[in-house]
Amino acid sequence: MRIGFIGLGIMGRPMALNIKKAGHHLVVPERASLTSEFRAAAEVVADAAAVARGAEVIVLMVPDTPDVETALFGAGGVAEGLSAGKLVIDMSSIDPIATKDFAARIEKRGCQYLDAPVSGGEVGARQASLTIMVGGPAAAFARAKPLFEVMGKNITHVGEMNGAGQTCKVANQIIVALNIEAVAEALLFAARAGADPARVRDALMGGFASSRVLEVHGQRMLDHAFTPGFRVRLHQKDLNLALTAARQLGLALPNTAIAQQMFSAVVAQGGADRDHAALLEALEALAAHKIGKTP
């Protein structure tokens, strides 16, 4: 297929390259930041509208709700280049309510729309092992599934309603944030009590406390290696979506609110663009104690 891809950041770059490796024709908009690798791999066109004109399926992978709206409906945006029968897939993590509006506006043009946010970070994007949570019509999902299979492994059609995928992703981000906080607290407790936090992590990996967060981010914490796979400010954005929706639903999410405050403390220390595992540093500041290696 001819696949348009908009948003070649930390996640988008490897996702787009996996699409190319699977044999699809890749179309991307011109950007000064395009590497020679991408210029060789893809057809480079003027803007998002030209991407939509030149592709059967248009994938978006951008940071936030306003970015998706601009990419779709701004000057030179995707909507300007659409013709009936095309498929738009938003793989960003954004507001579920705005997603419903975007889908309705695209569908009025005779096109299909899926929201398909992902989990798995940069590693999952590079390894084509992302978890993909999809909302939208079953026919559109069936059409897109072969494309999802070159980017991920755990692919779930959450529901036929647009926004279902985004709702699932918000739930995912609640769980990930609370796991990061739990791992950080546990390793900090172990270190402050005089145990070797690395050995504590090894022991916990064999028990019921084992998790992907303990495996990957636990090691990041021990090494104080916070080069971003997923940035603190983006996780803050996702938790803001959760807390805003919770207020609208009359729902209390007390631990989500605490995790958001801990991320805010990291941001206050200049860590907005560090990996979200850097939540550890907010707890270290409270305890006046560091674990593992000195940053």
Tens digits of residue pLDDT in 169-187: 999 999 999 999 999 999 9
Instruction: Find tokens 């028990």 and name the residue.
Output: 207
Residue 292 covered by a domain = no
pTM for this entry: 0.88
Give the three-state DSSP class for 44. Answer: strand
Residue 148 sits in the same domain as residue 171: no
Residue 19 covered by a domain = yes
Q: Which domain holds residue 181?
A: 167-287
Beta bridge partners of 114: 89
CATH number at residue 52: 3.40.50.720
> Are 236 and 280 a contacting pair, CB within 8 Å?
no
Tens digits of residue pLDDT in 83-116: 999 999 999 999 999 999 999 999 999 999 999 9
169 is catalytic: yes
Total domains present in the chain = 2
Phi, psi of 285 (to 5 degrees): -65, -40
Domain end residue (candidates: 138, 160, 182) = 160
Residue 18 sits in the same domain as residue 140: yes
Q: Which residue has better confidence, 121 or 12?
A: 12
Residue 97 sits in the same domain as residue 188: no
The amino acid present at 187, given as its one-letter code, is L
Residue 221 covered by a domain = yes
Distance (Å) of CA 189 to CA 37, 147, 192: 45, 44, 5
Residue 277 sits in the same domain as residue 256: yes
The catalytically annotated residue of 169, 237, 290, 293 is: 169
Cα–Cα dist 206/98, whole Å: 42
Residue 178 sits in the same domain as residue 109: no
> Are 214 and 183 a contacting pair, CB within 8 Å?
yes
